[in-house]
């Protein structure tokens, strides 16, 4: 297994602080880097398995959908020939696309906000 250079460099710095022979330092540095890599891969796998729930859209009124979430409220409206959107208490903004595309964009925004708050 080839270990990332940054992990090997850090591991060598740690191993070099101890008074051991050069061969032992190299084995120790490799072991530390392997453990760090395993932890990094484990964190990546956990993040890949993390799923964010879908927003629950409710038809509030004719051509007006809303979804409440832990990060704020999302609104999508069909206004004449255009789609308008709003997040939380912001201003209604035009959206270039369909109602379903606006909902999908808000879902992506919601997922980004949730995942950004997680630690690996």
Comparing 40 with 74, which gets the higher pLDDT? 74
What would the pLDDT profile of 35-72 be if each residue is shown by its tens digit? Answer: 776 766 666 666 666 788 999 999 998 899 999 999 99
What average pLDDT is seen over the chain?
Answer: 80
pLDDT tops 90 at residue 81: no
Which of 73, 102, 68, 28 is closest to 94 using CA atoms? 102
Ramachandran bin of 113, using left for φ above 0, alpha for ψ from -120 to 50, beta for the remaining angles: alpha
Average pLDDT in the 28-33 region? 70
Give residue for tokens 């409220």: 73
For the chain, the structural domain boundaries read: 5-49, 58-116
d(CA 111, CA 25): 44
Residue 6 and residue 28 in contact, taking contact as beta carbons nearer than 8 Å: no
């Amino acid at each position: 297994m080839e270990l990332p250079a940054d992990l090997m460099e850090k591991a060598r710095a740690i191993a070099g602080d101890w008074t051991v022979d050069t061969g032992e330092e190299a084995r120790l540095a490799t072991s530390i880097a392997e453990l760090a890599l395993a932890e990094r891969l484990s964190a990546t796998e956990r993040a890949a398995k993390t799923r964010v729930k879908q927003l629950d859209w409710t038809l509030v009124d004719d051509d007006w959908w809303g979804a409440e979430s832990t990060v704020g409220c999302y609104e999508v409206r069909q206004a004449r020939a255009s789609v308008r959107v709003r997040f939380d208490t912001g201003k209604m903004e035009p959206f270039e696309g369909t109602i379903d595309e606006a909902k999908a964009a808000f879902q992506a925004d919601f997922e980004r906000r949730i995942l950004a708050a997680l630690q690996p």
